[in-house]
Homo-oligomer: A and B are copies of this chain.
């Protein structure tokens, strides 16, 4: 157990932006909420997964919906509490700790704010090791943990308790309800025992985020480009460097879908990189060849500062570095690829690990 204060939250937010792989929602609002909660209620207890008792009830907390909506409809914090209270009542058991379902983006920050307000510890783990857009795209699901009973609560005071036959149905029904409830809600979801959490989650991901943030910050202070630090911490590789030349983006079914074309500079001169995104970057191709494929992580960094750029933040002319990072091994199983591989998102490419793709590329 260690305590998390403002400095740690600031660092985690930077790491969360990187692991958001262009999506997951800008951590900024979540960071402000977490900072304010810590200011008011004091530091947050961060538990290592192994510190959680096997029989304890762990309930992840997450925002569902379009992060772009959340920017205009900022959660007041009461939604997440209402969802937790309703789920606790339904289960008839006290919640021992919370945790993020996704480390990438805004959803890594919101559980921190909730934990501070409720005086609950946060487990240093998540269910993605990155960001993904749908509820069943979590390692909890891969390991057989059910998304329901789950509660959705909105800022108006409406709430919904869902019991579904599987987590894909939970996603379908909750998604439609979320849209009707104004486009974003807070969830209490994937309630599980400490034992199930240890088995199904990605461990120490908040600490990784924090390290990433701290290293980026330190490098920037010394006027150093922090790319190498990032690659080292994430086992990442530079995929491409260049200048954003074309962005084709549309909002469809609540997702920002599209492609970006980056023209090569430096060692990539005369080459062209195409990024395919659906909220998150999901597929990177160089001269038509896939070089990084979901569930492996793709991030676009500002060439100067090394800071992550979201898919919405991509601007014509921006100089950037595209990096790829291997996903957690849980995603590289048959079920993992089925749930969050390229086929699910409608890309024809077959999944191959980034290490393999880059090895071929180099030959």
Please provide the chain A residues from 151 to 192 with a CB less than 8 Å away from any CB of chain B in the complex. Answer: 156-165, 169, 172-173, 175-177, 179-181
Q: Chain B contacts of A157 at CB under 8 A?
A: 164-165
- Cα(A173)–Cα(B180), bound, Å: 6
Nearest-CB residue, chain B, relative to A89: B90
Q: Chain B contacts of A158 at CB under 8 A?
A: 162-165, 169, 173
- Cα(A169)–Cα(B160), bound, Å: 11
Q: Chain B contacts of A165 at CB under 8 A?
A: 156-158
How many interface residues does A have (CB within 8 Å)?
21
Nearest-CB residue, chain B, relative to A157: B165
- Cα(A162)–Cα(B173), bound, Å: 13
- Per-residue B-contact encoding for A86-124, CB less than 8 Å = 1, 0 else: 100010000000000000000000000000000000000
Q: Shortest beta-carbon distance, A293 to chain B, in Å? A: 30
Nearest-CB residue, chain B, relative to A158: B164
Instruction: Select A180's contact among B86, B90, B159, B172, beta carbons within 8 Å.
Output: B172
Known: A160-B162, A161-B161. A176 touches B169 (CB 8 A): no
Copies in the complex: 2
- Cα(A157)–Cα(B173), bound, Å: 13
Q: Chain B contacts of A181 at CB under 8 A?
A: 173
Contact B176 A179 (CB under 8 A): yes
Q: Shortest beta-carbon distance, A171 to chain B, in Å? A: 10
Q: Chain B contacts of A175 at CB under 8 A?
A: 180
- Cα(A161)–Cα(B163), bound, Å: 8
Contact B169 A156 (CB under 8 A): yes
- Cα(A86)–Cα(B160), bound, Å: 13
Contact A177 B169 (CB under 8 A): no
Q: Chain B contacts of A160 at CB under 8 A?
A: 160-163, 173, 177
Q: Shortest beta-carbon distance, A184 to chain B, in Å? A: 14
Nearest-CB residue, chain B, relative to A164: B158
Q: Chain B contacts of A173 at CB under 8 A?
A: 158, 160, 177, 180-181
Nearest-CB residue, chain B, relative to A172: B180
- Cα(A159)–Cα(B158), bound, Å: 17
Please provide the chain A residues from 52 to 110 with a CB less than 8 Å away from any CB of chain B in the complex. Answer: 86, 90
Nearest-CB residue, chain B, relative to A151: B161
Contact B169 A163 (CB under 8 A): no
Q: Chain B contacts of A159 at CB under 8 A?
A: 162-164
Most chain-B Cβ atoms within 10 A of its Cβ — which of A86, A90, A157, A160?
A160
Please provide the chain A residues from 175 to 234 with a CB less than 8 Å away from any CB of chain B in the complex. Answer: 175-177, 179-181
- Cα(A19)–Cα(B223), bound, Å: 78
- Cα(A162)–Cα(B158), bound, Å: 8
Q: Shortest beta-carbon distance, A160 to chain B, in Å? A: 5
Nearest-CB residue, chain B, relative to A82: B163
- Cα(A158)–Cα(B175), bound, Å: 15
Nearest-CB residue, chain B, relative to A161: B161
Q: Chain B contacts of A180 at CB under 8 A?
A: 172-173, 175-176
Closest 8 CB pairs of A and B: A161-B161, A176-B180, A176-B176, A158-B164, A157-B165, A159-B163, A173-B180, A172-B180
For this complex, 6 residue pairs linking A to B, each with C-beta atoms less than 8 Å apart, are A156-B169, A158-B163, A158-B169, A158-B173, A160-B163, A173-B181
19 more A-B contacts (CB under 8 A) besides A160-B162, A175-B180? Answer: A86-B163, A156-B165, A157-B165, A158-B162, A158-B163, A158-B169, A158-B173, A159-B162, A160-B163, A161-B161, A161-B162, A172-B180, A173-B177, A173-B180, A173-B181, A176-B176, A176-B179, A176-B180, A177-B177
